[in-house]
């Protein structure tokens, strides 16, 4: 089943003014239910504009957005309902915290969905567990927490709505490596256990390579690539020409290939690199030295 589909999707900011700018231009895209998609592109490529269409925050200038087969902007569509189905976590989501306790902040979405107190409580505790928050955190003020804990609260508030599709725009921006790995690991666990569709926007190619199954590359307001992680990063030269980076280990193996070593062109994680090097050594590659 197709979770997200766009048909000739175009969005123009400030249309009809001297400041007119087309951010995404005739984008056709299909993302299957249950995928974990990494979204990459240079600044101004249209990433944030595209994802804001998926829960109706932006209305297309032209074209259509379909979620689970339903056109978001058709007259008969209940847009509010679909905003619960597509959970969007913005950059620095902790700036959106406002309730007096962590519990109430996480509960805000489920309460507005009209769930019973018992259902809200179950959603809050389940979401808190997914992001590594303990029961004693729930009665604290969110403003007493560390930056990483605030980020977890904000993400839990979206998870508590149990969206069919979870979209995260740079969810680890500003966090240290330990905090980043912790949050992304928790999101990966959520995806593995729930099977929901996840889109992760990130500037970190290492994070995309490690956690995503597919990669969507945006360039010049359109889709440049959309494929499995290995296939996308095997086109490293094309990606770098767009002004994007590739995982460091991919760059190293590009250099090895240029030196004549028979290594794969789609090495993108350390585990894969280890396997390639062991295989290379087993073939007596020392003759290249």
220, 262: one domain: no
Domain presence at residue 61:
yes
Q: Which positions ≥6 away from 169 have C-beta within 8 Å?
A: 47, 48, 51, 88, 89, 90, 91, 201
Co-location of 211 and 126 in the same domain: yes
185 and 88 in a common domain: yes
Domain count, the chain: 2
- CATH code of the domain covering residue 49: 3.40.50.300
- Asked whether the predicted pLDDT for residue 269 surpasses 80, the reply is no
Query: Tokens for 109?
Result: 């979405």
Residues 77 and 69: their CA atoms lie apart, in Å, by 11
pTM of this structure: 0.87
| Same-domain pairing of 71 and 153 | yes
**Whether residue 210 is found in the same domain as residue 138:** yes
**In the predicted structure, residue 210 carries a pLDDT above the cut 80:** yes
* Single residue among 181, 202, 229 that ends a domain in this structure: 229
Start-to-end CA distance of the chain, whole Å, equals 50
Determine the pLDDT at residue 287: 52
Average pLDDT over residues 38-49: 92
Q: What is the pLDDT of residue 289?
A: 46
Higher pLDDT, 264 or 216: 216
| Residue 281 sits in the same domain as residue 184 | no
Indicate whether 213 and 257 sit together in one domain. no
Most confident segment among 65-69, 186-190, 253-257, 285-289: 65-69
Tell me how far apart the alpha carbons of residues 87 and 149 are, in angstroms, rounded to a whole number. Answer: 19
Q: pLDDT value at position 266?
A: 67
**Each residue of 152-169: pLDDT tens digit?**
999 999 999 999 999 999
User: CA–CA separation, 46 vs 200, rounded Å?
Assistant: 14
Give me the chain's average pLDDT, please. Answer: 90
Domain co-membership, 146 together with 258: no
Domain that holds residue 262: 247-289
Total number of residues shown for the chain:
289
């Amino acid at each position: 089943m197709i979770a997200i589909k766009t048909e000739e999707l175009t969005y123009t900011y400030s249309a009809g003014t001297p400041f007119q700018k087309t951010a995404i231009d005739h984008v056709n895209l299909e993302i299957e239910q249950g995928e974990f998609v990494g979204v990459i592109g240079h600044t101004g490529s249209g990433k944030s504009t595209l994802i804001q269409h998926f829960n109706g925050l932006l209305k297309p200038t032209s074209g259509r957005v379909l979620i689970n087969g339903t056109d978001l902007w058709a007259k008969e569509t209940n847009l509010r309902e679909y905003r619960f189905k597509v959970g969007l976590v913005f950059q620095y989501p902790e700036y959106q915290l406002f309730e007096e306790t962590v519990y109430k902040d996480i509960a805000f979405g489920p309460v507005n969905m009209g769930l019973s107190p018992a259902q809200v409580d179950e959603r809050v505790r389940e979401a808190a567990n997914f992001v590594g928050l303990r029961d004693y955190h729930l009665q604290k003020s969110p403003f007493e927490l560390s930056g990483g804990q605030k980020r977890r609260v904000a993400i839990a508030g979206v998870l508590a709505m149990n969206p069919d599709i979870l979209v995260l725009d740079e969810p680890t921006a500003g966090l240290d490596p330990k905090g980043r790995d912790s949050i992304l690991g928790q999101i990966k666990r959520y995806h593995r256990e729930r099977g929901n569709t996840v889109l992760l926007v990130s500037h970190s190619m290492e994070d995309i390579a490690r956690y995503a199954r597919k990669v969507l590359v945006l360039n010049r307001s359109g889709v440049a690539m959309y494929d499995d992680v290995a296939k996308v990063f095997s086109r490293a030269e094309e990606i770098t020409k767009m002004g994007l980076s590739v995982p460091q280990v991919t760059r190293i193996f590009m250099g090895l290939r240029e030196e004549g070593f028979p290594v794969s062109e789609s090495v993108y994680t350390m585990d894969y690199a280890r396997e390639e090097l062991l295989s290379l050594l087993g073939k007596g590659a020392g003759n290249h030295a």
